[in-house]
Structures are given as structure tokens and as C-alpha cells.
Amino acid sequence: MTQQVWRKGRIILAGLFGVAMLTLIGLSGCGTNGYDNPSSEAVTTKTATALIQAADLKQWGDAGLVNRAGGYDRVVILDMSTTAANGANAYDTVGHIPGAQSISAGPAAFYETRAEGPMDATGQMVCSGATIDALIQKAGIDANTTIVLTTNSTSALDMTRAYATFRYWGFPKNRIKVLQGGNAGWTAAGYALTTNVPTIQKSTYGVAQNGTTTVNTDMRVSLSEMIAYVKGIVAGNAGNVYILDTVRPANPGVFSTQDLIAPATPKVYTPFDGYVKGSYGFPLSSVITGATFKTADEIKAAVSAAFSSTSTIGDANRDSAKTFITMCRAGNNASQAYFVLDGIAYYNSNVDIKWYDGSLGQWNLCASKDHLALNGTNAGGKLAVGSIWDTTSLMDRLTWNIDRGLTIVDYSARVYGVEPSFVDGNQLETADKAYRSAVSSSTGGATTGGGGGC
């Protein structure tokens, strides 16, 4: 009798175990990122960091993954080579990696003028959901795509601005790759370019669909957040936050920030320049040569060598850091620093890497209208008197650009009549969280099998 009860219990337990396993198997196919749930297919695009070598990409191409129709393990190559003033593009004239698609606007495809803080127009901010959706759908990108970024240019920012934008719009770092050296790295490895243009089936995938959005607002620093971070650093830096400024010179008198919206000529400038308090100079030449990136150890050494007016970060502070924020003038150079930290040096780390895309082009406009320059004239600020958004008190070696004989931009038309509070002043991310893609399928039109949705 006892044996019969034992056998019956064992059968029931076995049945329950089987149901549990079937449930887990079913759930494994329901993730929005097929990369982490590869089902029965082998995933070959996993790499140690987001930086890949030409041999990796060649292997994926030979395996038929580039522009593959369907599956968890497919690859799309985006060539960020820009169109020259004469209308020529190296993608067509010099050639491109087989299967690569042209993003002829280069980094400009990933930024636009948007509202944030006290101004309804701020230049070169991270692009909107509609913009990124149009790009990824044209390229046939879906939830199961590994994106490889390359360029014929000698500038790494062609690739890194795209990397930072994809990270912001919810693509996991293991799905975004940057080709070491770009197209030059490909040819240096002995591989040929082509002028054949691939035929691409558009996808219906979107970055925010089915009532949800995966926008990664944590990796981007808004203006209100940047003000809070700097104030925290000034108050003692209990959060172990370090700001890396990729354009900070040793002498602020040799650096001027042009307005990001006004026409390039005649040149007009922000009201002030100087150093953001608590920031460290982080020259890109210490981590990037052209479109070639240094190793993780070399990048960390460069972080230690980042300089202020009185000291460097040093190994101890670097290793105790909980957050690094990268900045520059317009978010482009900052994206290069963001990539070397997020994509290489701290790829598998709990250190928080953040990108301030507004940078000095936004920060250096934040002056109230009552400031006077040293020469006694109005300094050119346009914010309300006593504005909470005024950042001039958060600058070291503040320099009024009108004292240097520069023409200051009149940005009064951009300033809200009633400036928002810090709570209401993150309009950009509020809009992106509310954005919904105009599609209903979680897998793209280019994916005919093996999708990541249920």
C-alpha cells in the first residue's frame, strides 16, 4: 500500500515537473529580445564587448546572417558615411561592406531640435520616436536584429552617435556593434568593398508599440538632472559622480561655444563659457585614433588621467565611481566617450554610464536676463530673473563671451513665457515615454520566422 501511494505521488510530481518545463519553454519564446532567448537557433553574434573586428563581421556575412529574412540571429549593417557638399557619398563612390545600407546623413540622422527645460527649442538633441522608427523600419531592423555600425570616415562619431541613440531607444548593448576602424578596418583585414546596393524588405517594428515603450531614459541626462548632478558634486559628491568633458581645454579663454540652432554664418555664441563645476577634461585623443578605439585598460587609464584645474581623477576615484557622465558641446563627442565607456571599458559592469546630449550648447544658454558682463553691458542671457534654470553659479572660471568681443545669440524667442519647474521641465523624455509606434506587430516585416514575440 505504501509503495502504491509513493508511486502515485511520484507520477504526479513528474507530471507537474513536465508542465512547469513546458511553461518555461513557452515563456522563453515570448521575450522582446530574441537575443537572450535564442530558442533552438544558435546565436553567433554575441561578443565580449560592443566593439567588433572585421573578422567577426566577415564570419556573420559568410554565415548568411546579413539582411537575413527571419530568425533570432540576423544582422543589419548601417554605413554612416555622409554625403559630401558635391553630392558624392563614399558609400557609392568608394564602396561599402557587402550588404551594408547607407545612412547618408551620418550622425545628423540621429538628432533634431527639441524642447527641454526653459526653452521650446534646443539643438542637436536625441531624435524622437517617429524619427528612429522611420530609420529602423527602412533598414529592416526588428527585435531580433544585431545592428553593426560602420563608416568610411576617419571620425568615430559617425558610429557612436548612432550607438548612443539606439541605446536610448531601448536597444540592448548586446544588439549594437561598432566595427573597429570602420570600413578601413574591413579593407585592412583584406576584405573587399562592393558598390552593389542590397535590396531590403522594410520592417514594421517600432521602438514603442503594443502599449509599451522601452526608451532608456536612465542613460540620458536631461538638463534638470544635470543641474542636480552638479549641485550634488559641489555638495561633496556623495554619489561618486564624475563628469567627463571631451572638449574641455586647459585654458577656457581659447574655447567658445557656438549656438547650435542659428546658421553657421555669421557666427553667434552662447552668453558664457568656462568649466562645469566638478567636470574633468577627457580628451578623445586619449581613447580614439580616427575611427579606431583603444583597449579597455587603456580607456580606464585615460579616465584616471582626466584633469581638472587642480588634479586628475586618479585610480582610486575612478574605481570608486558609481556614475560617469559624458558631455561636450553638442552631444557628438560626448557620444564617443559614452561608447568607449559603455561599449568597451565598462561593458560588463554595474558602473552607470550616462550621456548628456544637451551639453554646453544647452547649458551655456542658461543665464538670466539680468547678468552684466565685466564691461558693464548686458551679458545676453534671456531666462527670467531668478530662474531656477540659471547655471552660471555652477561654472568655474565663468567667462562672458561678450567681453571677448563675440556676438551673442538672441534666443529670446525660444524661451517659454512661463518657465517650467524641474518636475515639468523634462519635456523631451516625457514625450518619448508617451510615444507609441504606429505598428502592432512585435516582429518586423523583414522577419518571417523565429521572431521574439508571442
CA neighbor of 36 nearest in space, from 348, 132, 45: 45
CATH topology for the 51-215 domain = Oxidized Rhodanese; domain 1 (3.40.250)
CA distance 250 to 275: 10
Helices (H) and strands (E) in the chain, counts: 12, 15
Question: Phi and psi at residue 108, in whole multiples of 5°?
Answer: -65, -20
Q: Do domains 51-215 and 219-434 have the same CATH topology?
A: yes
Q: Using CA atoms, how far apart are residues 154 and 317, in angstroms rounded to an integer? A: 33
CA distance 334 to 355: 7
* Contact (CB, 8 A) for 434 and 211: no
Residue located via cell numbers 544588439: 175
pLDDT tens digits in sequence order for the chain, 454 residues long: 434 434 444 434 344 334 333 333 333 322 344 444 444 344 579 999 999 999 999 999 999 999 999 888 899 999 999 987 788 899 999 999 999 999 999 999 999 999 999 999 999 999 999 999 999 999 999 989 999 999 999 899 999 999 999 999 999 999 999 999 999 999 999 999 999 999 999 999 999 988 888 899 999 999 999 999 999 999 999 999 999 999 998 776 678 999 999 998 999 999 999 999 999 999 999 999 999 999 999 999 999 999 999 999 999 999 999 999 999 999 999 999 999 999 999 999 999 999 999 999 999 999 999 999 999 999 999 999 999 999 999 999 999 999 999 999 999 999 999 999 999 999 999 999 999 998 744 443 333 222 222 1
What amino acid is encoded at 66 in this protein?
V
Strands 111-116 and 119-126: antiparallel
Q: Give the residue extent of every domain in the chain.
A: 51-215, 219-434
Closest Cα to residue 52, out of 300, 293, 334?
293
- The domain 219-434 having CATH identifier 3.40.250.10: the answer here is yes
Residue 147 backbone dihedrals phi, psi, to 5 degrees: -95, 125
SS3 (DSSP) at 89? strand
pLDDT at 250: 75
